[in-house]
């Protein structure tokens, strides 16, 4: 079965580029627009839940989707230390230092944590809602995919 993958980059956009921009150059501006317009952010959350609930062939990328969507789905959390996340992000962040990328990641994590708590009362650091948690440090994407298949079989 072919699986569809979506995250904020494939979400519908309004004329002002709300939700998430399709290019990394404008994603910070689009994220700021979403934060400044909480109703837009909530609509994005509802859109994700509708998509995941409507199709059986979707892999969704959302940190707190398991808490907000009441659907029969498997939830997998892929975990990596900050240093590993910085190294991975550096590949698409031309001209930025590791320190800048690290600050961006920490700021985004903080915003996500604050939003999830304020909007839904969800502590996204509590991983007990996930069916499977995989540490990806030192793992190739192929090994991670194999671990997911084994863990959910």
Phi-psi region of 19 (alpha: psi -120 to 50; beta: other; left: phi over 0): left
CA distance 150 to 142: 12
Q: Give residue-wise pLDDT tens across range 97-119.
A: 999 999 999 998 998 888 888 88
Chunk the chain into consecutive blocks of 10 residues (it has 153) and report each block's average pLDDT, rounded to whole numbers: 43 42 46 62 79 75 77 86 94 91 93 86 89 92 92 88
Q: Is residue 42 part of a domain?
A: yes
Per-residue pLDDT at 34: 58
- 116 and 54 within one domain: no
Per-residue pLDDT at 28: 55
Per-residue pLDDT at 1: 36
**Residue 42, domain extent:** 1-62
- 116 and 90 within one domain: yes
Q: Is residue 90 part of a domain?
A: yes
- 153 and 79 within one domain: yes
Q: Is residue 43 part of a domain?
A: yes
- 151 and 83 within one domain: yes
Q: What is the pTM of this model?
A: 0.69
């Amino acid at each position: 079965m072919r699986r569809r993958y979506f995250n904020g980059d494939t979400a519908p956009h309004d004329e002002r580029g709300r939700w998430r921009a399709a290019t990394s150059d404008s994603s910070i501006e689009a994220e700021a627009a979403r934060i400044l317009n909480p109703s837009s952010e909530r609509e994005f959350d509802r859109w994700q839940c509708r998509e995941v609930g409507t199709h059986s062939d979707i892999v969704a990328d959302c940190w707190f989707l398991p808490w907000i969507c009441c659907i029969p789905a498997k939830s997998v959390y892929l975990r990596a230390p900050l240093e590993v996340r910085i190294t991975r992000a550096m590949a698409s962040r031309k001209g930025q230092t590791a320190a800048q990328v690290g600050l961006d990641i920490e700021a985004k994590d903080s915003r996500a944590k604050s939003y999830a708590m304020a909007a839904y009362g969800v502590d996204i650091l509590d991983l007990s809602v996930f069916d499977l948690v995989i540490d990806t440090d030192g793992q190739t994407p192929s090994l991670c995919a194999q671990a997911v298949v084994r863990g959910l079989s």
